[in-house]
Chain A
């Protein structure tokens, strides 16, 4: 997993509450065998004027010019700013997959749905909870000022505005450790590689048949 330390990026203000996972990535795209390829269908119902289906040619689809993601000034945004209860709905890990593939590694909102919040950490993304007042202030700034950026510093647990104003946020110490070091569950288990190898060496004596090659 990609480590997350500090990120400075263009902010995309998605001025809505209760953005659910079906809106983040509609269900017809879950048939995929991939963990990638969801970026083009991120917010599909809002981004395009026609109905999307898996495997279509996206380049010729009619774009919804009123949707914030399609506005030229937010192209290349890496921080998504939204209202409360972001990511509610199903447990689909496709939601963080889609956001991260599109380019968002940070989502700031007053609150998140539990499962979505968890899934973000598993995928190298940082969900940041700030109060409704602060989010409101940032939302207004991002809408008013072209090229508005923010910096998220995970080590110090602060969001920094271009004026140097800082807002602190909470994050579980263990998750912070994993994210800072780019450790996913697998990465963590691999820290025990030596123990696994020792175990295997021992079992090769005790139960050697377990290790017989099956690729015959």
Chain B
């Protein structure tokens, strides 16, 4: 018998039963809930007179609709000006109270973006199956979890049955060998991967990230990479468990302790792909060749090195890509062949479930030390991913570094990542953003998003346009 991949192991460990039509019933260990995709699921449960199957599986926190301005946030839920947004948050609170589900409410110091909060609290642990009504749930694969996003009917299904009906995906390994150069971050690695395989490259696959670059990478960096697996089309992105994983989990508030810890660690250490495991597809990159990345277009695959130019149409691989690029030039207000470093910026957003953890904020702060945000920048905001990240950053004095440079220091939430709260781009504004999607209108109607690492966003804020953080 050939060896098993990490995905095979996680799948097998959670298969409750096989069904005739080739699908399986998969047990879900952890279910994360937020205000946007859960209300109808809770209502469905109530209408059918059903109860959550296992209360201890669920944890909720509002993140998408919460205001990030301190003054509004101080008022709690009533500080949410938009009525529809407020009602969604109130509804989450009510549902959690009614069904007895644990919730970190709006001003709990543990509140935050679920994909930051879960691992940080030890609520997400290696080897778990993790779901959430949100496509960036792949983030948790960084801990050696089988994690993916689900829709509202599936949220209800998981609440009621603790299971999902699923079909097994294919296995893909993405190996990044060698070492990263100075100034090159996990965000650049994942953007380079997406640029290489395209936004549909991972469709139908569970992706495992492997190779020296990931072995050397911190847990938070691995989360940044797994977070964007979905941008390469893969619902699942994972990294094998190693010392880095174990060290990260140890001592987290909800992590097991004493005897249970010993039992858990022993199991977690089996969570890697066997050396003779077979992957359906293997892709390799050389880490030393990766430069800081900047997205120029309206899809996460429209990415180039900061030293390059906006690609010209003749570089497109086919007519469809050429057409996509031409639409993107117009939407983004860019000229083919224009230098990336000539792109002037209006706003800077450091945050989102991709890059709002403490290491991200440290990276950005290290760049700005003592310098000022350029005059042409209308607004530069830093939004910590959780209350805990914010407190930690303040303890390290990072908030002072940011505010003295001219950044605004905000309260935790999704914020300008998707502009569901009041944080938005105006039409035609260019934004250096550490988030994960540069779709048309994502950060506000007509807004122009450029995806970059926290260090690159900070450097761009100081220069007023993109610069290579390596010579900054």
What is the bound-complex CA distance between A34 and B100, given in angstroms?
20
Chain B residues whose CB sits within 8 angstroms of the CB of A212 once the complex forms: 56, 254, 256, 260
Contact present for A186 and B48 (CB under 8 Å): yes
Binds B, one of A103-111, A158-166, A190-198: A190-198
B238 at the interface (CB under 8 A from A): no
What is the bound-complex CA distance between A213 and B57, given in angstroms?
8
Chain A, residue nearest B56 (CB) = A213
Contact present for B56 and A206 (CB under 8 Å): no
A18: shortest Cβ distance to chain B, in Å? Answer: 26
Question: Which chain A residues (184-216) contact chain B, with CB distance < 8 Å?
Answer: 184-186, 189-190, 192, 195-196, 199-200, 203, 206-216
A62: shortest Cβ distance to chain B, in Å? Answer: 25
Number of chain B residues whose Cβ lies closer than 8 Å to a Cβ of chain A: 43
Question: Which chain B residues (58-113) contact chain A, with CB distance < 8 Å?
Answer: 58-59, 84, 87-88, 91, 100-102
What is the bound-complex CA distance between A199 and B125, given in angstroms?
19
B283 at the interface (CB under 8 A from A): no
Chain B residues whose CB sits within 8 angstroms of the CB of A137 once the complex forms: none
Contact present for A192 and B17 (CB under 8 Å): yes
Question: Which chain B residues (263-291) contact chain A, with CB distance < 8 Å?
Answer: 263-264, 267
Contact present for A33 and B87 (CB under 8 Å): yes
B157 at the interface (CB under 8 A from A): yes
What is the bound-complex CA distance between A196 and B160, given in angstroms?
12
B326: shortest Cβ distance to chain A, in Å? Answer: 28
What is the bound-complex CA distance between A206 and B266, given in angstroms?
11
Contact present for A214 and B165 (CB under 8 Å): no
A61 at the interface (CB under 8 A from B): no
What is the bound-complex CA distance between A192 and B162, given in angstroms?
11
What is the bound-complex CA distance between A122 and B100, given in angstroms?
27
Number of A-B contacts (CB under 8 A): 91
A156 at the interface (CB under 8 A from B): no
Partner of B59, one of A186, A189, A214: A214
Contact present for B87 and A122 (CB under 8 Å): no
Q: Mark B129-151, 1 if CB is under 8 A from A, else 0.
A: 00000000000000000000000
What is the bound-complex CA distance between A210 and B130, given in angstroms?
11
Contact present for B256 and A34 (CB under 8 Å): no
Contact present for A1 and B48 (CB under 8 Å): yes
B161 at the interface (CB under 8 A from A): yes
B13: shortest Cβ distance to chain A, in Å? Answer: 8
Contact present for B260 and A209 (CB under 8 Å): yes
Chain A, residue nearest B29 (CB) = A210
Contact present for B43 and A36 (CB under 8 Å): yes
Contact present for A211 and B56 (CB under 8 Å): yes
Chain A residues whose CB sits within 8 angstroms of the CB of B55 once the complex forms: 213, 215
Chain B residues whose CB sits within 8 angstroms of the CB of A192 once the complex forms: 16-17, 25, 163
B392 at the interface (CB under 8 A from A): no
Interface centre among A122, A184, A186, A206 (most CB of B within 10 A): A186
B445: shortest Cβ distance to chain A, in Å? Answer: 16
Chain A, residue nearest B21 (CB) = A174
Chain A residues whose CB sits within 8 angstroms of the CB of B16 once the complex forms: 192, 195-196, 199
Q: A196-B163, A208-B263, A209-B263 are in contact. List 15 more A-B contacts (CB 8 A).
A: A34-B43, A35-B40, A122-B153, A185-B157, A185-B165, A190-B161, A195-B17, A196-B25, A196-B162, A199-B16, A211-B54, A213-B55, A214-B58, A214-B254, A215-B101
| 10 residue pairs bridging A and B, Cβ less than 8 Å apart | A35-B43, A186-B161, A192-B17, A192-B163, A196-B16, A200-B27, A208-B260, A211-B54, A212-B56, A216-B102
A-side residues, CB < 8 A to B, are 1, 31, 33-36, 93, 122, 184-186, 189-190, 192, 195-196, 199-200, 203, 206-216
